[in-house]
Amino acid sequence: MAKKMVVRIQGKTRQERHGITSAASDAVGEVGGYIVDFKQFSNLAVVFTIEMPPAGYEKLRDRLSGLGVCLEPPTIEESALSAAAGPQEVAGSLRLDFQHQEPDVRIPIPAVPG
């Protein structure tokens, strides 16, 4: 059975939300990862559910920092991901909080017949 580690990458940014959301999505793919799901919380935050190889963890953090995302420090366990006997898979979440002065975006909920 493959060992899996769960990580939580969280950061804040003042970048334009559409552009940084797309760039963060691209960064996950560039490090060999996949976006399994995502949730958008108005224009306040977006949370991606991600999976990636252990070698992609630090690369992803570096790419996000380079994009202007101020990341929270990794946990002790996350810092040790580069260890040789580490997990074979990394899964978890990537949360981006948007810092801006815009009003909340209203997202219409589609009507369900019935």
Q: 16-72: per-residue pLDDT in tens?
A: 999 999 999 999 999 999 999 999 998 899 999 999 998 899 999 999 999 999 999
What is the pLDDT at residue 91? 93
Q: Worst-scoring range by mean pLDDT, 6-15, 30-39, 100-109?
A: 100-109
Tens digit of each residue's pLDDT (9 = 90 or more) over 80-90: 776 555 677 88
Give me 83's structure tokens.
């260890």
What is the pLDDT at residue 95? 97
What is the pLDDT at residue 1? 53
